[in-house]
Structure 1
């Protein structure tokens, strides 16, 4: 996952951040973090999502993964 950083200094590209809540700001930081990108790539390319990989992501990044059978909360 490689981000396009060519226009990061253009203020209008970040107007949307004025309305972000705390979790959204966290996601904006997290998705730009190279270590997170590497871990995400490892999860995406793993033949199966083993409990060890999921546990590592959970502990390292504070993420929780919903079970496919678990209903969404709104």
Structure 2
């Protein structure tokens, strides 16, 4: 017996890259950070924050 639903789903056109295998060992907070730091809106917010601090002569750690 075959599963028609499974047959109708397209196969994923990706493969696991060795560059990302380290994520299999990350705990929840570390995995969340990996996602967050790549998110374009987070990157934009961080850049705005950095520019704001520089305007006041402050540095971020």
TM-score, structure 2 as length reference: 0.59
Residues 22-41 of structure 1: matches in 2 within 5 Å? 22-41=28-47
Alignment size in residue pairs: 41
2:51 pairs with 1:45: yes
Structure 1 moving runs of 4+ over 2 Å: none
What TM-score results when the alignment is normalised by the length of structure 1?
A: 0.49
Structure number with the higher helix fraction is: 2
Secondary structure in structure 2 of the residue aligned to 1:42: helix
Cα root mean square deviation, aligned: 1.9
